[in-house]
Structure 1
Amino acid sequence: MKQVKLFDDFYQFNSGSDFIPITFNQYLLLGSEPLLVHTGSIDQTKELLPKIKDLLGSQQLSYIFVSHFESDECGGLGFLLEHYPQAKTICSEITARQLKGFGITHEIIIKKPNETLETDDCQLNFIAYPSEMHLWEGLLVMEEKRGIFFSADLFIRMGNITDPIVDSKWAEEVKSITDQNIPSSSAREALQSTLLNLPVRYVALGHGPFLKVQ
């Protein structure tokens, strides 16, 4: 697992796959209330944990954001919460139900689209994400203070990460969303309309490099 310092208070962790040419990313935003975006699978979380502990030091992890219920987004959540039991998981209502069904009963903050969460360090704006083939309601999130959009599986770049930060054009990224990403034309068009109006400066991909919007 590689650790990449993107900003002074913001890190990406990425690891490859033995089966397909793709990376799996997690992100840590430091500050007075540190936020982790995704845990990775259980094996990835076991690699991630010592890196988080080193960056946090004596500080506790405050929040863990889970965009949707899938192993590379939250497979290691239970393990991580054993080490940071006070951390609050942020997710959609459907994801929360799935987590509780797997025995994760720590505090969960359920958010709906267009709701926000503000801390001393960041302002999170949540966006509807009809994720996966069943179109279960997940969440995407925009960190307004830095202009970072966390895209989960919406935009995927195959291959290993050679350049940690890559230039991109936001309108082209949004236009690239297809039936493979969201298999509902009405849901896809509604999301694209929402995304085009966001003040995005960076895109934190779930799979691929960190994008700097031109």
Structure 2
Amino acid sequence: MPPKNHTTTVTEVAPDLFRLSTFVPAFGLQFNQFLVRDEEPLLFHTGMRGLFPAVQAAVAEVLDPKTIRWLAFSHYEADECGALDDWLQLAPSAQAACGALGAMVNLSDMTQRPARGLAHDEVLTTGRFRFRYRATPHVPHGWDAGMLFEETTRALFCSDLFFHGGEVEAVTRDDLVARYGTALTEAKGSPLDFSVPYTDQTRPILEATAALAPAILLPMHGSAWLGDGQRAVLQMADMLEEVLRPNTQAAGKLA
């Protein structure tokens, strides 16, 4: 758990869409949450419990944290939803929202209030914004993994996809595929080497994601990105096949 004395910066990526980012030097990573200001405010990623005070303060720069309605995330992991119960305790109307599988196998026993389990392609409406849930098992990792695609801004909340380290700029148009490839290559031989699996469904899932034609990419670690998201996701699919397929063959050697 990171120490509790970090500062979280706030950047408006698009109208009423905010990136909240905390750089943790011990990990060499930015941990990002995304706040959507609407009739029913939504926070994507709660962050780890150790970051809760900093993230709460950042949310308060935009809106009253107690008015958060939806606490969404991709998959069950500390940086995705570690502070979920802290948020549920703070915001009386808040409810977790994740894939139906994650709600059933994880949150049904782990949280103080029932979660909203989203089916593949189900739409969560917060007022002006429409969040389409896309189930993406094992992309980036975890059988419960999924993403949200906001249809009016064409923003893809892509979790650990396009992961890259360092204290980087809040928003960029630079090549995130290259940054992600570098991060995966540098992880080889480390405990993070097998953090992203490559399965026979990886490319079909990414091709379906690319077909959404996102214009904004919102990774949990690193810069938010603006540009031709369809092209970027397809380029990432090629890169992952090149970098990760050898890992699939090597994984058998761990037995």
Smaller-chain TM-score bracket: 0.7 to 0.9
Give a deviation string over 1:73-117, Cα, whole Å, max 9, x none. 000010111110211211123322312333x13131101222222
Amino acid at match of 1:98: N
User: What is the rounded CA distance, in whole Å, between the counterparts of 1:158 and 1:190 in structure 2?
Assistant: 27
Does the Cα contact within 8 Å between 2:32 and 2:220 map onto a contact in 1?
yes
- Corresponding position: 1:185 with 2:199: yes
User: In the TM superposition, what whole-angstrom CA distance separates every residue of 1:39-62 from its partner, at most 9, and x where no partner exists?
Assistant: 100011221112323422387111
- After the TM superposition, which segments of 4 or more aligned residues of structure 1 sit over 4 Å from their partners? 178-182
Q: Which residue of 1 aligns with 2:69?
A: 62
Cα separation, 2, equivalents of 1:153 and 1:28: 17
- 47, 64, 71: which one pairs with 1:40? 47
Gaps of 5+ in 2: 1-7, 185-192, 229-255
Counterpart position of 2:246 = none
1:114 aligns with 2:121: yes
Alpha-carbon distance between aligned partners in 2 of 1:56 and 1:211, rounded to the nearest angstrom: 24
What's the counterpart of residue 165 of structure 1?
A: 171
Does structure 1 residue 209 correspond to structure 2 residue 223? yes
Structure 1 Cα separation of the partners of residues 117 and 82 of structure 2: 18
Q: What is the TM-score of this pair, normalised by structure 2?
A: 0.74
Flag the structure with larger Rg. 2
What's the counterpart of residue 149 of structure 2? 142
Aligned equivalents of 2:17, 2:80: Cα separation in 1: 18
Identical aligned residues as a percent: 22
- The Cα RMSD (Å) is 2.5
CA distance in 2, matches of 1:194, 1:183: 18
Going by fraction, where is helix more abundant, 1 or 2?
2
| Partner of residue 101 from structure 1, selected from 96, 102, 109 | 109
The Cα of 1:132 is off from its aligned counterpart by 7.2
**SS of the residue 1:52 aligns to:** helix
**2:98 matched residue in structure 1:** 91
Deviations 1:6-59 (A, max 9, x none): 233121111122432211100100011111001100011221112323422387
- Which residue, 8, 11, 24 being the options, matches 2:31? 24
Q: Decide which moves more: 129-138 or 29-38.
A: 129-138
Q: Is contact 1:111–1:126 with CA below 8 Å preserved after alignment?
A: yes
Higher strand share: 1
Gaps of 5+ in 1: none
One-letter code aligned to 2:208: T
Higher mean displacement: 105-114 or 199-208: 105-114
Tell me: CA distance 1:58–1:190, structure 2 relative to 1, closer, same or farther (3 Å). closer
Q: Are the counterparts in 1 of residues 139 and 145 from structure 2 also a CA contact under 8 Å?
A: no
Residues paired across the two proteins, number: 209
CA distance in 2, matches of 1:58, 1:65: 15
Alignment partner of 2:212 out of 179, 198, 208: 198
Are residues 34 and 2 of structure 1, via their aligned partners in 2, closer, same or farther at CA, if it must alter by over 3 Å?
Answer: same
